Amino acid sequence: MLCAWFIPLFTSITSLIFGYDEADLIFVGDAMQHKAQLEAARSCKEYDYTGYFDAIMPIVAGADLAVVNLETPVGDPPHTGYPCFNAPPAFVDALAAAGFDLFLTANNHTLDRGHRGLRSTLSVLDDRELLHIGTYSDLTARSEALPRILDVNAFKIGFLNYTYGTNGIQPRDGVVVDYIDRTLIKSDVEAARKAGAELICVCIHWGDEYRLLPNSTQRHLADFLEAIGVDMIIGAHPHVIQPMELRPNRYNPSRNILLVYSLGNFVSNMKTADTRGGSMVHVKLFRGDDKKAVIKDADYRLLFTVPGTHPADGFRVLEADSVKSTLWKPRAAEFARRARAIFDKHNIGVKEAAQP
């Protein structure tokens, strides 16, 4: 067995010798802050998220790019949970410290604090020099930000982010939320390709909450995205997992497409068996002698949120099978059993990651 420190060096040397490139991407679902989470993290006037993500940090930080859906505005007090979220900047700091590189902000809660909350969230992310897509302070900012093409280990990947809605709250004062609009999406995808993107990833907020299978609207929209050449479709919003597919594109069989209908919750205080956890999807990109970028492989891990009551025993995101708590171990096992039943029956080409 190669030592852990030697693997990246070995990969780099073999890449130079044999002429291939590889990259690892990580995607997780909804990062939320409910009232109980805020109360557990609060210490005097500060918020302490120490230990929140320690268990999964090696996996996240080990990826070449890690993506998270920030499903809450972030800014000044008052900090609140459901139904109108507003998390402290320390929550973003904890996510960044865990290794997340790209923050998705187009979701149904992005306007919970109106246009000021949207701009505050962007300011927090910008102050920390964190990448983000999906919402913009105005049209000029959007035109400057897109196409968002990231160089990930020499793979040029175009990222886009859209939401079905914002809970009936309309954008005001010039702020921009990227809603699902086929004409807009097609134009954005074409612009990304023209700007040099080898692969296109659309992260999309869609579907019915709490349903373990995609609805017809999701399926039809996924078909549209596949037809216009999107390579990765990464879904969120239902707060539960939904199936995943890695297979040849039906409109261009020479290219693979990864379709994840819903990653579920990454961290939250939702209480039902299916909403207590979610999936982490790992994507392997590859470029061989033909110089073409392809999605080589994808697998998933099941994550579970164990709650706490104060910073010394705060919330923790763990792999579902690693939960030890007498109270939460059977609940984690039930979440994992139900999730695996869906994945085993409906997944195409995406299996669970092998345990070390």
- Best CA proximity match to 90, nearest among 43, 132, 30: 43
pLDDT in tens, 18-30: 445 999 999 999 9
Question: What is the C-alpha separation between 169 and 133, in angstroms, rounded?
Answer: 19
Amino acid letter, residue 194: K
pLDDT at 46: 87
**Which amino acid makes up residue 171?**
P
pLDDT value of residue 356: 66
Q: Tens of pLDDT along the chain (356 residues)?
A: 334 333 344 444 444 444 459 999 999 999 999 999 999 898 767 899 989 999 999 999 999 999 999 999 999 999 999 999 999 999 999 999 999 999 999 999 999 999 999 999 999 999 999 999 999 999 999 999 999 999 999 999 999 999 999 999 999 999 999 999 999 999 999 999 999 999 999 999 999 999 999 999 999 999 999 999 999 999 999 999 999 999 999 999 999 999 999 999 999 999 999 999 999 999 999 998 889 999 999 999 999 999 975 555 689 999 999 999 899 999 999 999 999 999 999 999 999 998 76
Distance CA 162, CA 112 (A): 16
